[in-house]
Amino acid sequence: MRACLIASAFVAALAAVPAIAADPPLVPIAPEKATAPSILTPLAGDSPWTARFEAAADELLPALRSMDESRWGPLLGGRWLAAPDRARVTALLRDRDSPFRHALFAQGVTHRAILGWQPPATLTAEDRAAIAARPEAEAIVCWSSDADASWPTTAAEADNAPGRRYACARITYSIRGETPRWRAFVEREPA
């Protein structure tokens, strides 16, 4: 009998939860203002990061072209690259409609763009200098078999969605410590 009463009380408590959740929050929360996405722009030729990102892209391109996980896996995180991410990249490289198939495996020259984020006009000279002095940076490298490809203008457009005329990877680079390190990320638009 006692167990039946406890079970009934538990069921009644669970039934009351949705009613409690429907109450308005104690502290009003203002909706966030929508912001325009940051614009991508080609890295400046005189940027200290340009040569580093070019070298990383030059190493990443043949690894992706090989379609061999033992070559591209270490560049995309190695043992920290989760199994679902490995499967997603493998599928992206094998998919006949993938931008990677068209960009990396087409006959002829593969064109490349290395893009960074355009800093807001509101940054002061000191802010820009502080950003330039950081020991890490991030860029998006894109490849296309089309010489007239229009490159992505925002990071959201570098999503490797079917129909894109370019394929992209995001590269993070760090010069902390004795050895400079970089890692690539291949994103895909959610299905």
What local confidence, expressed as pLDDT, does residue 5 receive? 47
- State pLDDT tens for residues 138-188: 999 999 988 887 999 999 999 999 889 899 999 999 988 888 899 999 987
In a domain, 24, yes or no: no
| DSSP assignments along the chain, one per residue | -HHHHHHHHHHHHHHHHHHHHTSPPSS--PPPPP-PPPPEEEPPTT-TTHHHHHHHHHHHHHHHHHT-HHHHTGGGTGGGS-HHHHHHHHHHHH-TTSHHHHHHSSSSPPEEEEEEEPPPTT--HHHHHHHHT-SEEEEEEEEES-TTPPPPSSGGG-S--TT-S-EEEEEEEE--SSS-EEEEE------
As averages over each run of 10 residues, the pLDDT of the chain (191 residues) reads 51 53 69 80 89 95 94 93 92 90 82 91 86 90 89 93 92 89 85 56
Of 65, 46, 107, 85, give the one whose Cα is nearest residue 183. Answer: 85
pLDDT at 75 (0 to 100): 95
Residue at 128 is within a domain: yes
For residue 138, the one-letter residue type is E
Does 133 fall in a domain?
A: yes
* Number of separate domains in the chain: 1
Residue 23 lies in a domain: no
pTM of the complete model? 0.77
Q: Domain span at residue 181? A: 38-185
136 occurs within a structural domain: yes
The answer to whether position 65 is within a domain reads yes
Residue 135 lies in a domain: yes
Per the domain annotation, does 91 fall within a domain? Answer: yes
pLDDT confidence of residue 168:
95
Q: In this structure, are residues 138 and 173 in contact, taking their beta carbons and an 8 Å threshold?
A: yes
Q: Are 154 and 38 in contact (CB under 8 A)?
A: yes
